[in-house]
Amino acid sequence: MTDITERFLKYVSFDTQSADGTGHVPSTEKQWALARYLKDELTAMGLTDVVLDEKGYLYATLQANTTAQDIPTIGFIAHIDTSPDCSGANVKPRIIRNYDGGELVLDAEAGIVTRPEKFPELPDHVGEDLIVTDGHTLLGADDKAGIAEIVSAMDFLLHHPEIKHGKIRVAFNPDEEIGLGAHDFDVERFGADWAYTMDGSEVGEIEFENFNAATAKVKVHGVSVHPGYAKNKMVNAARVATEFAALMPETETPEHTEGYEGFYHLIAMEGSVEEATLTYIVRDHDRTIFEARKRRLAEVAEFLCGKYGPDTVTVDVTDSYYNMREKVEPQMYIIDICREAMKACGIEPHVKAIRGGTDGAQLSFMGLPCPNIFAGGLNFHGPHEFVPIQSMEKAMQVVVNICRIVGEGRLN
């Protein structure tokens, strides 16, 4: 068996950063390199039905080793790409053995230091072995830790045939970080009864609730007139845009909310006298409140149209994904199995709602119930990202135990 650390360090050597707006699938050519490497690795390990499709989605099977009847086919999924927010090229990981709880000096010369007072999760990992960056790139634990855990679990099961399990499907997809990871996922080809994405953070996390999400494009159409003669004629689109923003609830923004509280997030704003555009993302766990939030945008636009003239402000809202809870809750044994698997590893399960989205949300609405499990990394998408080796090992053990429990036919 290949050590999980060795496997992870190999994966992060690939630059797999995705990119918005390229019009390609995968969005970047460089994601193919890791996908092809994984295809060869899974084939060499002994998995079957290993297929890398024309869009960069990799599927494989660990065949059942039990003759028991009616064992469900389960799946495990992770994403190949890393975030566009920070470079993933030429990653230089370093292992800090037996972390002592102090500062992590990533680049002494450049003064790049990860300090416990800024990253309060650090003291929880005293005594563990942390893989960190050199302070100039992200690490890629999101989600190469998840890939390493799934592949290592399949390798472990192949080397331990005494652990009985049913048919297991694995898949690795591109473009999760730009919200497109599930768009071309072939649920029918995958053929699992349910699955788990390995894409969470801290040890023990189980996530089967996420935001309902939408993107709103607000367009303001002004009337440009020479400012010396503009009275009662000009409609300044840029100023109307600021008025629109001011009319939105001041405290219902990301910086004022937590837990199950939703928000409006103004992510872009540009314009001139003649035209202006605002882009919002809208989030809420509650579907009814989510719909009310979208109506609020339309109501503000209607108010401003009444003030400045018809069609001055238009709002185009596009739903992105919905809360997977409504698809997972009718089959809560999926979560119960995960809880039992964690407890068998000495892990206290911690169910939490995602203040964001996940491929599993979209997959759940595509007919594949798919909650999310911890992968162990922290401080994703930036140079202070790190992952404890022990967390990856625990995540791998959870995957093995889920396969064992399902293989024993112990469904609630």
| Tens digits of residue pLDDT in 323-336 | 999 999 999 999 99
Active site residue 284: no
Pick one of 3.30.70.360, 3.30.450.40, 1.10.760.10, 3.90.480.20 as the CATH number of 212-321.
Answer: 3.30.70.360
Residue 411 confidence (pLDDT) above 70: no
Where would I find the beta strands (DSSP E) of 272-354? 275-284, 313-321, 350-354
Q: Report the pLDDT value the prediction gives residue 412, as an integer from 0 to 100.
A: 54
- Token pair 């100039």 in the structure block, residue: 136
Where would I find the beta strands (DSSP E) of 1-93? 48-52, 58-62, 74-79
Q: Report the pLDDT value the prediction gives residue 320, as an integer from 0 to 100.
A: 86
Q: Report the pLDDT value the prediction gives residue 409, as an integer from 0 to 100.
A: 86
- Token pair 């990856």 in the structure block, residue: 392
| Tens digits of residue pLDDT in 11-57 | 999 999 999 889 999 999 999 999 999 999 999 999 999 999 999 99
Decide the pairing of beta strands 130-132 and 94-96.
antiparallel
Decide the pairing of beta strands 168-173 and 74-79.
parallel
Q: Report the pLDDT value the prediction gives residue 155, as an integer from 0 to 100.
A: 98
Q: Report the pLDDT value the prediction gives residue 57, as an integer from 0 to 100.
A: 98
Beta bridge pairs of residue 378:
386
Contact 177, 83 (CB under 8 A): yes
Whole-angstrom Cα distance, residue 197 to residue 143? 10
| Tens digits of residue pLDDT in 67-96 | 888 999 999 999 999 999 999 999 999 999
Tokens of 21: 């707006």
Active site residue 81: yes
| Tens digits of residue pLDDT in 199-250 | 999 999 999 999 999 999 999 999 999 999 999 999 999 999 999 999 999 9
| Tens digits of residue pLDDT in 264-319 | 999 999 999 999 999 999 999 999 999 999 999 999 999 999 999 999 999 999 99
| Tens digits of residue pLDDT in 141-198 | 999 999 999 999 999 999 999 999 999 999 999 999 988 899 999 999 999 999 999 9
**How is the chain split into domains, by residue range?**
4-210+324-407, 212-321
Q: Does domain 4-210+324-407 fall into CATH 3.40.50.2300?
A: no
Q: Report the pLDDT value the prediction gives residue 115, as an integer from 0 to 100.
A: 95
Q: What length does the chain have?
A: 412
- The answer to whether 4-210+324-407 and 212-321 have equal CATH topology is no
Whole-angstrom Cα distance, residue 338 to residue 383? 31
The model carries a pTM of: 0.88
Q: Report the pLDDT value the prediction gives residue 306, as an integer from 0 to 100.
A: 97
Instruction: Kindly name the residue from 176, 199, 205, 359 that is annotated as catalytic.
Output: 176
Whole-angstrom Cα distance, residue 319 to residue 212? 8
Residue 358 confidence (pLDDT) above 90: no
Instruction: Kindly name the residue from 81, 177, 209, 284 that is annotated as catalytic.
Output: 81
Strand order in the sheet with 74-79: 48-52, 58-62, 168-173, 74-79, 194-200, 372-374, 205-210, 350-354
Beta bridge pairs of residue 368:
none
Residue 346 confidence (pLDDT) above 60: yes
